[in-house]
Amino acid sequence: MFIRAYLRASTDDQDASRARDDLERFAADRGLRIAARYVENESGAKLDRPELMRLLADCEAGDVLLVEQVDRLSRLNAADWNRLRAEITAKGVRVVALDLPTSHQLIQPGADEFTARMLDAINGMMLDMLAAIARKDYEDRRRRQRQGIESAKAKGVYRGRPADVERNEALKTMLRNGQSWASIIKATGCSRSTLAKLRKEIAA
């Protein structure tokens, strides 16, 4: 059995590694060791996440996918969650989440077949419930955000996302130094439209 820790944050501004210590402590308290860590900054509402897919590709039957919270694994809609769950089940992977106490028993050795099957059934049901709650929370926050923007626009006070001044100045410096757009995009992850806008600002 290998324990594979999955750490995810939604944006580059958040620290996907923040929960590493909690996961390490959880494993150590049970006399276990995390064999591999998969860290990425991707939305949990998106199924195609490179590090999550790599984790599942690396897994063998009996391995544990360890997460801090179920919403780190999924904020997926029902169809995508069912696809992910089917792949996890097909691989024989057990999901253990710090916020899902019923799952903690899945990494304890010595359970008989009946107990193991009961634990799998209970944990699967709880996992589905928490995944549904995580999706609802995601949709609620998106709706409130849209409502806030619409309200601000109606009042004439909406100004859009504030510019990241320090980042933009760094990008401008790279452009002024003659660095290619392709190399800048690869190094920073910025978009071509951002570079085009900054190039116009430099020219002006």
Identify whether residues 130 and 188 lie together within a single domain: no
Identify whether residues 102 and 60 lie together within a single domain: yes
* Diameter of the chain measured on Cα atoms: 73
Torsion over CA of 127, 128, 134 and 137, rounded to 10 degrees? -140
Give Cα separations from 136 to 77, 129, 141 (angstroms): 9, 11, 9
Identify whether residues 18 and 58 lie together within a single domain: yes
Residue 190 forms part of a structural domain: yes
Amino acid symbol at 69: Q
Residue 41 forms part of a structural domain: yes
Identify whether residues 49 and 92 lie together within a single domain: yes
Q: What is the pLDDT of residue 197?
A: 87
Question: C-alpha angle 6/81/17, rounded to 5°?
Answer: 20
Identify whether residues 41 and 100 lie together within a single domain: yes
Q: What is the pLDDT of residue 133?
A: 93
Q: What is the pLDDT of residue 162?
A: 63
Residue 146 forms part of a structural domain: no
Q: What is the pLDDT of residue 24?
A: 95
**Is the Cα torsion angle 103, 105, 110, 112 positive or negative in sign?**
negative
Structurally, the chain folds into a number of domains equal to 2
pLDDT tens for the chain, residues 1 to 204: 899 999 998 765 567 777 899 999 999 999 999 999 999 988 999 999 999 999 999 999 999 999 999 999 999 999 999 999 999 999 999 999 999 998 998 887 766 778 778 888 898 999 999 999 999 998 998 898 888 888 877 887 766 666 677 788 888 888 998 888 888 887 777 788 888 889 988 987
Contact between 185 and 194 under an 8 Å Cβ cutoff? The reply is no
Identify whether residues 48 and 118 lie together within a single domain: yes
Q: What is the pLDDT of residue 11?
A: 66
Tell me the β-bridge partners of 64. Answer: 3, 94
What is the span of the domain harbouring residue 107? 3-137
What's the predicted TM-score (pTM) here?
0.71
Stated as kind and residue range, the H or E segment containing 40 is strand 34-41
Residue 149 forms part of a structural domain: no
Q: What is the pLDDT of residue 183?
A: 84
Q: What is the pLDDT of residue 161?
A: 62
Amino acid symbol at 109: P
Identify whether residues 58 and 12 lie together within a single domain: yes
- Catalytic residue annotation: 10
Residue 150 forms part of a structural domain: no
Residue 156 forms part of a structural domain: no
Q: What is the pLDDT of residue 18?
A: 77
Question: C-alpha angle 81/128/27, rounded to 5°?
Answer: 100
Residue 59 forms part of a structural domain: yes
Identify whether residues 63 and 14 lie together within a single domain: yes
Give Cα separations from 85 to 43, 58, 88, 106, 154 (angstroms): 17, 16, 5, 17, 42
Nearest Cα to Cα of residue 20 among 75, 94, 72:
72
Question: CATH number for the domain including 16?
Answer: 3.40.50.1390
Amino acid symbol at 87: E
- Tell me how crowded residue 56 is: count the other CB atoms within 10 A of its CB: 19
- Tell me how crowded residue 34 is: count the other CB atoms within 10 A of its CB: 17
